[in-house]
Amino acid sequence: MSVSVQEVMGSAATTSVQYSFPVNQWYVAALAWELKEKPVGRTLLNKPVVLFRTADGKPAALENRCCHRALPLSDGTVEDGGIRCGYHGLLFNDAGKCIEIPGQDKIPSKAKVPAYHVTERDQIVWIWFGDDEHPEPLCEPPAYNVHSSGKYLFDGDVYHYDAPYQLIHDNLMDLSHLGYVHLRTIGGNASIHMTAKMTVESENDVVRVIRHMPASVPPPTYTAAYPFKDKVDRWQEIEFHVSHLRIWTGAMDAGEDSLSNPERGGFHMRGFHGVTPESDTTSHYFWTIATNPKSDPEVVKQKVVEQTKMTFDEDKVVIESQYKNMCRFGALPMIDIHVDTGANRARRIVEQLRTVKL
């Protein structure tokens, strides 16, 4: 994870370590429903990890390597006692300690693998990545009560991207692309997207982008899910956190209520976007979408989920193609335009948090 050590000289020498990714953070490791009867192998922040549930249903994460002959533990099986290696049957508990070796009573003290701190909250499984000084979590993982409040129906999935994770940040922080990339689903008038009133705010490590599009024609996804009368007042509210983004989009009949009212009605889509680096050049993208159907709740929810997946399929094509072209052309300069403000602020925060002072 560590890339370099830098000494910054001033009135006194200060040593800092620069990591490939921000550390001392909770990152999304899985969606709760991914962890069933089989282990899940996944590389997170360049660390091969195996995820599984213990007998009491709690998530666990170990280094994905048996200490005997290095088979990935994700090739094994989950049992009441832990996870059993699929090569010679060594059984490891959720702390990474070997508790059984078939045919051998004595278990060597070195028969163990590193364990990670994981917590499930609001149906999201979080994993802690700390620096050498902070192997224990410094805080609780983020709450996301959209999943637990009972106000919304939701579902989601996970994508693997052949592209760096910050390109996904850029895409989500700038929704002006909807009118060009997502014409079949959540797009709408491209000109309105590009000229929407936009406010960008920063507070500590959080960036918020708010975009309003009053008197808009609702896009296909919206009309398929909600009985709008005619034109709508539409909003996009994006909240960037280092490990994930929260995006609240929606619309209500034009003039129905104020776009500044946090309790406004209408059609809501609340998206959770857990963007976790796999490596320096690949990523995991965990997403859920929640909505508030006015009628036929399961039917409408399924429509919204299917339409959302279509948009993410479209984004994945664009982002991976973008990255291939960046590799093809090398480090050529790129210009910024007005819609890049939020994404640029997010990038500055990530860059700052990659460096840890010792």
Residues 112 and 177 in one domain: no
Does a structural domain hold residue 264?
A: yes
Tokens coding 155: 């579902």
Question: Which stretches within the chain are classed as H helix?
Answer: 165-173, 178-181, 190-195, 220-225, 297-329, 341-353
Residues 125 and 165 in one domain: no
Residues 83 and 216 in one domain: no
Does a structural domain hold residue 13?
A: no
Residues 314 and 202 in one domain: yes
Q: Residue-wise over 342-358: b if at least 16 C-beta within 10 A, else e?
A: bbebbbebbeebbebee
Does a structural domain hold residue 118?
A: yes
Residues 49 and 168 in one domain: no
Q: Residue-wise over 94-130: b if at least 16 C-beta within 10 A, else e?
A: bebbbebbeeeeeeeeebbbebbbbbbbbebbbbbbb
Domain that holds residue 293: 153-357
Residues 238 and 125 in one domain: no
| DSSP conformational letter for 276 | E
Does a structural domain hold residue 12?
A: no
Residues 241 and 343 in one domain: yes
**Residue that terminates a domain, selected from 64, 94, 129:** 129
Does a structural domain hold residue 52?
A: yes
How many folded domains does the chain comprise?
2
Cβ(141)–Cβ(25) under 8 Å? no
Cβ(161)–Cβ(282) under 8 Å? yes
Residues 207 and 307 in one domain: yes
Nearest to 60 by CA among 37, 83, 33: 83
Does a structural domain hold residue 319?
A: yes
Residues 105 and 158 in one domain: no
- Which CATH number is 282's domain given? 3.90.380.10
Q: Cα 207 vs. chain centroid, distance in angstroms?
A: 15
pLDDT of residue 228: 92
Residues 227 and 111 in one domain: no
- Which CATH number is 91's domain given? 2.102.10.10
pLDDT of residue 7: 38
Tokens coding 345: 């602020």
pLDDT of residue 198: 83
Rounded Cα–Cα distance for residues 41 and 101 (Å):
22
Does a structural domain hold residue 6?
A: no
pLDDT of residue 4: 41
Does a structural domain hold residue 142?
A: no
Cβ(21)–Cβ(117) under 8 Å? no
**Residue that terminates a domain, selected from 90, 113, 129:** 129
Residues 239 and 322 in one domain: yes
Dihedral sign from CA coordinates of 164, 166, 169, 173: negative
The pLDDT tens digits along the chain (358 residues) read: 434 434 333 444 568 889 999 999 999 999 999 999 999 999 999 999 999 999 999 999 999 999 999 999 999 999 999 999 999 999 999 999 999 999 999 999 999 999 999 999 999 999 999 998 999 999 999 999 999 999 999 999 999 999 999 999 999 998 776 665 655 665 555 555 566 688 999 999 999 999 898 998 888 888 888 999 999 999 999 999 999 999 999 999 999 999 999 999 999 999 999 999 999 999 999 999 999 988 899 999 999 999 899 889 999 999 999 999 999 999 899 888 888 899 999 999 999 999 888 7
Tokens coding 330: 């090398």
| DSSP conformational letter for 112 | B
Residues 252 and 164 in one domain: yes
